[in-house]
């Protein structure tokens, strides 16, 4: 009988062989330097976590208008690519593999973070309810400007250019962030997309932006170096859809022909703001999608092992456990206790709560 797969079974993702199935989930940490350039602190943070089967970086904006935070990293100019190159070189030197997550904030940002204090852009002029962190503290979300049809190819081009820069930056691949309320997600769901052109209305229209960006990324890197993150039924950042199961069944079916490195999905239990969908997104997507699946959301070592062994997913992304356990893979291997994370240092700050969580033996 073949040995049952588990967290420590190697797996081939596109063209990469991962030594284990423990992925470091993308996590925004708001610690880039001036100009949204990754600095030495980020080099240390990511290289400390290089034993992950794969690292997916924090959300990284492909254009100045896609920026959503005070100190996020970007990937739209040579200086940022050079900063990232130091990160990827250090991760590779430590034996790891790393994808960059491309994240355009769309309406989930504020004019004070954008060039010339322009209004955020979105599929439709519908604001997010609530407040956003800016340099001037928390401010209410603004009503975004609805994108003109003619502007959309330009945004797809920005993602294409970021994919080109990801090669110069030394990344092994790119993940498109099309989940948790950011621009592609805003196009996908009925609550934030009320367009009457070819980018709204029908399932075909609402998923068009996501698929066009994906095609652009695949055109640059090849589909085997491109992943996609989706969050069916996830309501964070006011992502309301009339029929989330129908929308994401359709999208997953369309994705079957792409031959992507992986599709990343789940429900961020525990971390989640908003309400849970009435269905399990991992099982829904698994039942429709024929490619490699990356599941995320509240997994432990035991539940990750069980999900892989039962075939619910192919590999697992861990978020918060990686924040406080740089050597999470080793801790899982030897069944060592995990260090607890501190939510107060998740977003922004210095080395504290970022690069000062010790590895086993150094405690
Ligand atoms: C501090 C923090 C920042 C996050 N930032 C991102 C992000 O930039 N992109 C993304 O796709 N998910 C982001 N997430 C979600 C995680 O990738 C993951 O889906 C979530 O934490 C659930 O996994 P966990 O239960 O293992 O933590 C973030 C989560 C945390 C805790």
Q: Are 317 and 307 in contact (CB under 8 A)?
A: no
Ligand 1 centroid to Cα of residue 164, in Å, is: 25
118 Cβ contact partners less than 8 Å away, ≥ 6 residues apart: 65, 111, 145
pLDDT tier at 343, thresholds 50, 70, 90: very high
Atom of ligand 1 nearest to the CA of 270: 25
Give me the sign of the Cα torsion angle 57, 289, 7, 225.
Answer: negative
Containing H/E element for 173? Answer: strand 173-177
Query: Does 3 fall in a domain?
Result: no
147 Cβ contact partners less than 8 Å away, ≥ 6 residues apart: 121, 122, 123, 155
Query: Does 6 fall in a domain?
Result: no
User: Tokens for 171?
Assistant: 């990344």
Query: Does 358 fall in a domain?
Result: no
What residues pair up with 264 in beta bridges, in sequence order? Answer: 229, 294
Q: Cβ(305) to ligand 1 under 6 A?
A: no
Ligand 1 centroid to Cα of residue 25, in Å, is: 6
Residue-averaged pLDDT of the chain: 96
Query: Does 125 fall in a domain?
Result: yes
pLDDT tier at 270, thresholds 50, 70, 90: low
Tens of pLDDT, residue by residue over 302-335, are 999 999 999 999 999 999 999 999 999 999 999 9
Q: Cβ(270) to ligand 1 under 6 A?
A: yes
Q: Per-residue pLDDT for 267 more than 80?
A: no
For ligand 1, atom 4, the nearest C-alpha belongs to 27
Ligand 1 centroid to Cα of residue 27, in Å, is: 5
Q: Which domain, by its residues, includes 300?
A: 11-345
Q: Cβ(346) to ligand 1 under 6 A?
A: yes
User: Tokens for 47?
Assistant: 């290289």
Render the burial of 5-43: b for 16+ CB within 10 Å, e for the rest. Answer: bebebebebbebebbbbbbbbbbbbbbbbeebbbeebbb
Q: Report DSSP state, residue 50.
A: T
Residue of 7, 21, 22, 25 with the most ligand 1 atoms within 8 Å of its CB, for mutation: 25
What's the CATH number where 39 sits? 3.20.20.70
Residue of 7, 22, 26, 178 with the most ligand 1 atoms within 8 Å of its CB, for mutation: 26
Q: What is the DSSP string of 211-280?
A: HHHHHHHHHHH-GGGEEEEE-TT--TTT---S-HHHHHHHHHHHHTTT--SEEEEE--TTT--S---SS-
Give me the sign of the Cα torsion angle 13, 15, 20, 26.
Answer: negative
Query: Does 363 fall in a domain?
Result: no
Residue of 67, 104, 268, 357 with the most ligand 1 atoms within 8 Å of its CB, for mutation: 268
User: Total structural domains in the chain?
Assistant: 1
Q: Cβ(28) to ligand 1 under 6 A?
A: yes
Query: Does 359 fall in a domain?
Result: no
Cα–Cα distance for residue pair 62/7, rounded to 1 Å: 32
Ranges of H-type helices in 94-143? none
Ligand 1 centroid to Cα of residue 320, in Å, is: 7
Cα–Cα distance for residue pair 164/154, rounded to 1 Å: 15
Residue 352: predicted pLDDT? 98
Q: Cβ(26) to ligand 1 under 6 A?
A: yes
Query: Does 289 fall in a domain?
Result: yes
Residue 182 designated active-site? yes
106 Cβ contact partners less than 8 Å away, ≥ 6 residues apart: 66, 120, 121, 122, 123, 144, 182, 183, 186
For ligand 1, atom 29, the nearest C-alpha belongs to 27
CA-atom Rg of the chain in angstroms: 19
Containing H/E element for 327? Answer: none
Q: Are 99 and 173 in contact (CB under 8 A)?
A: yes
Q: Per-residue pLDDT for 274 more than 70?
A: no
What are the CA-CA distances from residue 119 to residues 66, 124, 134, 197 (Å)? 11, 13, 14, 21
Residue 234: predicted pLDDT? 86
Q: Cβ(264) to ligand 1 under 6 A?
A: no
Residue 363: predicted pLDDT? 61
Residue 148: predicted pLDDT? 98
Cα-Cα-Cα-Cα torsion 120, 122, 125, 130, nearest 10 degrees, comes to -60
User: Tokens for 43?
Assistant: 């080099």
For ligand 1, atom 24, the nearest C-alpha belongs to 319
Catalytic residue, candidates 46, 69, 159, 182:
182
Residue 278: predicted pLDDT? 84
Q: Cβ(177) to ligand 1 under 6 A?
A: yes
Q: Per-residue pLDDT for 12 more than 60?
A: yes
Query: Does 357 fall in a domain?
Result: no
Residue 2: predicted pLDDT? 55
Q: Cβ(320) to ligand 1 under 6 A?
A: yes
User: How many degrees, rounded to 5, is the angle at CA 134 between CA 129 and CA 140?
Assistant: 25
- Closest among 112, 141, 119 to 238, alpha carbons compared: 141
What SS3 class is residue 135?
Answer: coil
Tens of pLDDT, residue by residue over 118-150, are 999 999 999 999 999 999 999 999 999 999 999
Atom of ligand 1 nearest to the CA of 341: 31
What residues pair up with 358 in beta bridges, in sequence order? Answer: none
């Amino acid at each position: 009988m073949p040995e049952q797969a588990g967290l420590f079974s190697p797996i081939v993702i596109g063209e990469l062989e991962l030594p284990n199935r423990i992925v470091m989930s993308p996590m925004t940490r708001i610690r880039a330097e001036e100009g949204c350039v990754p600095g030495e602190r980020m080099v240390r943070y990511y290289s400390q976590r290089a034993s992950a089967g794969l690292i997916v970086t924090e959300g990284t904006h492909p254009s100045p208008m896609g920026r959503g935070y005070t100190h996020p990293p970007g990937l739209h100019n040579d200086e940022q690519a050079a900063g990232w190159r130091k990160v990827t070189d250090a991760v590779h030197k430590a034996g790891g593999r790393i994808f960059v997550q491309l994240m355009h904030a769309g309406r989930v940002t504020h004019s004070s973070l954008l060039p010339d204090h322009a209004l955020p852009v979105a599929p439709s002029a519908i604001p997010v309810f609530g407040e956003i962190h800016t340099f001037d503290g928390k401010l209410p979300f603004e009503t975004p400007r609805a994108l003109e049809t003619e502007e959309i190819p330009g945004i797809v081009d920005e993602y294409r250019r970021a994919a080109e820069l990801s090669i110069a930056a030394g990344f092994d691949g790119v993940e498109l962030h099309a989940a948790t309320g950011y621009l592609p997600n805003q196009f996908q769901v009925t609550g934030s997309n009320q367009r009457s052109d070819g980018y709204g209305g029908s399932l075909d229209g609402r998923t068009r932006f996501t698929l066009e960006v994906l095609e652009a990324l695949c055109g640059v890197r090849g589909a085997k170096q491109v992943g996609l993150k989706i969050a069916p039924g996830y309501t964070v950042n006011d992502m309301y859809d009339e029929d989330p199961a129908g929308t994401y069944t359709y999208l997953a079916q369309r994705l079957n022909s792409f031959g992507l490195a992986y599709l990343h999905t789940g429900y961020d239990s525990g971390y989640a703001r908003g309400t849970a969908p009435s269905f399990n997104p991992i099982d829904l997507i698994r039942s429709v999608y024929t490619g490699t699946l990356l599941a995320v959301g509240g997994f432990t070592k035991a539940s990750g092992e069980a999900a892989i062994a039962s075939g619910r997913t192919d590999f697992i992304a861990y978020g918060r456990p990686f924040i406080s356990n740089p050597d999470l893979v080793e801790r899982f291997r030897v069944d060592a206790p995990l260090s607890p994370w501190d939510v107060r240092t998740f977003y922004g700050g210095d080395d504290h709560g970022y690069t000062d969580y010790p590895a086993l033996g150094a405690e």
